[in-house]
Amino acid sequence: MLVNTFTIVLGETLEAGVLGSLLFYSCHSLQVSRKVLLLALLFGVVGASFYGGYLNEISLWFDYTGQEWLNGLISIGVFLCLAALARQLMIQKNGRQLALFLCSTMVFIHEGSELYLFYASVPQANFWPVIVSGAVGLAVGVSLGVLLYYAILLLGNAQHNVAWLLMALVGSGMFLQASQYLMQADALPSFSMLWNTEWLISERSSIGQLLTATIRYESTPSIVEVTCYGLAWLVFFATRIKGGVNA
Amino acid sequence: MKWLMALMAITVSSSALAGRPQYEIEIKNHMFYPDRLVIPAETKVRLIVHNRDATPEEFESFELNREKVIAGMSTTAIFVGPLSPGTYPFFGEFNLETAQGVIVAE
């Protein structure tokens, strides 16, 4: 139970940690006050609590597919906001706060709601041990996010390009995840897998779980998922071309 | 916003009209019943999951590419497939020790 708690909390906070480091970097680079992130955290916590608290009602929407639709829309929202941030970074459009605020809020709702539900499922007898092992997972995830933030800052001239690359990796993964939610809701067609890389990196392995948590690694993707992932990367490439930035 | 609601309604209606075969699973005492479900291969099916426990559970499967949280004392639906013939494990992420099952496509 405790190892499982650590894994679940780390999985959620790892993605939030990577995204958090990119959002902090965007704040730094675009000269936006960090108060925007604090406000987003507040909205995100309230949003995650509402989501967790009303999960049953949300699940009933659209013939029991409300959760997939909402998660899919949040994932698409994070993808779009990351693409907007990537473009702002490329053209140094400073002082813009909206994409940063929306992206941060949706990330907190996305990651926070699952943690809320997980802790709601913990039996009373296991509550404190689970809280402690969850706190360790949270600390590891946050620490990695902080390390990544300072690692990006140490890169000098390459920091914009590395931040863009990370945004493209995470953002395209978010769009891939949205396609999976919509397939799960039968809103997108499902097909057999195009390839199987389980032999190379299993989704059950530590590396597989790390890659899944951060960039949505998928060992058995279908043509719909591969197409969505490719389209998302095209959007990110467009943020560079139209920005006219020297790479 | 109206166009989005209309799109969702059309998609949900088309899904319902498609008349997917339906199968049911229960979660009770953090275990799946049945823990082995046989479905037709190469066919998309609608899995109805009833969570009879008071606490939430997350239905998850790497092989099926599915992940969904089910609130306590509630029911939800998950579309699965079409699957090639084979065995596809699934589990409850919040209770890994007990909540385990397989879908067999044949």
What predicted TM-score, i.e. pTM, was given to this entire model? 0.86
B47 close to B26: Cβ distance less than 8 angstroms: no
What b/e sequence results for A129-153 when a residue is b if at least 16 CB atoms lie within 10 Å of its CB, and e otherwise?
ebeebbeebbebbbebbeebbeebe
Q: CA-nearest residue of chain B to A196? A: B63
Query: Are the beta carbons of B82 and A114 separated by less than 8 Å?
Result: no
Query: Are the beta carbons of A190 and B82 separated by less than 8 Å?
Result: yes
- Reduced to 3 states (helix: H, G, I; strand: E, B; else coil), residue B1 is coil
Predicted local confidence at residue A116, as pLDDT: 81
From the list A118, A184, A191, which residue is nearest B66 (CB)?
A184
Mutate to test the interface with B, among A60, A63, A111, A186 (most CBs of B within 10 A): A186
Q: CA-nearest residue of chain B to A183? A: B79
H or E segment to which residue A172 belongs: helix A159-184
- Is the Cβ of B89 closer than 8 Å to some Cβ of chain A? no
From the list A8, A121, A191, which residue is nearest B55 (CB)?
A121
- Reduced to 3 states (helix: H, G, I; strand: E, B; else coil), residue A34 is coil
DSSP H helical ranges for A54-155: 55-64, 66-91, 98-120, 127-153
In DSSP terms, B70 is beta-bridged to: B57
C-alpha triplet A152, A153, A155: angle, nearest 5°: 70
Predicted local confidence at residue B6, as pLDDT: 55
pLDDT tens per residue, range A19-42: 889 999 998 888 888 888 899 999
Say whether the peptide bond before residue B82 is cis (omega within 30 degrees of 0): yes
Give chain A positions within 8 Å (CB) of B18: 186
Residues of chain A with pLDDT under 70: 1-4, 95, 123-125, 242-247
Amino acid, res. B21: P
Query: Are the beta carbons of B57 and A121 separated by less than 8 Å?
Result: yes
Distance (Å, whole) CA A187 – CA A69: 9
Predicted local confidence at residue A15, as pLDDT: 81
From the list B66, B77, B93, which residue is nearest A64 (CB)?
B77
Predicted local confidence at residue A245, as pLDDT: 47
Query: Are the beta carbons of A186 and B75 separated by less than 8 Å?
Result: no
Question: How many other CB atoms are found less than 10 A from the CB of residue B73?
Answer: 13
Pairing outcome for strands B45-51 and B22-28: parallel
C-alpha triplet B42, B75, A173: angle, nearest 5°: 60
Predicted local confidence at residue A2, as pLDDT: 59
Residues of chain B with pLDDT under 70: 1-18
Predicted local confidence at residue A182, as pLDDT: 94
Predicted local confidence at residue A111, as pLDDT: 81
Query: Are the beta carbons of A186 and B79 separated by less than 8 Å?
Result: yes
For domain B21-105, the CATH architecture is Sandwich (2.60)
- Is the Cβ of B85 closer than 8 Å to some Cβ of chain A? no
Predicted local confidence at residue A185, as pLDDT: 92
Query: Are the beta carbons of B96 and A4 separated by less than 8 Å?
Result: yes
Give chain B positions within 8 Å (CB) of A63: 12, 15-16, 77
Predicted local confidence at residue A125, as pLDDT: 66
Interface of A with B (CB under 8 A): 1, 4, 8, 55-56, 59, 62-65, 67-69, 114, 117-118, 120-123, 180, 183-187, 190-192, 203-204, 218-220
Distance (Å, whole) CA A40 – CA B60: 29
Predicted local confidence at residue A247, as pLDDT: 40
- Is the Cβ of B62 closer than 8 Å to some Cβ of chain A? yes
- Reduced to 3 states (helix: H, G, I; strand: E, B; else coil), residue A220 is coil
Give chain B positions within 8 Å (CB) of A59: 70-71, 74, 76
Give chain A positions within 8 Å (CB) of B65: 180, 183, 218, 220
**What are the backbone angles phi and psi of residue A61, rounded to the nearest 5°?**
-60, 150
Predicted local confidence at residue A136, as pLDDT: 79
B70 to each of A170, B40, B49, how far by Cα in Å?
26, 25, 8
End-to-end CA separation in angstroms for chain A: 47
From the list B48, B56, B97, which residue is nearest A117 (CB)?
B56
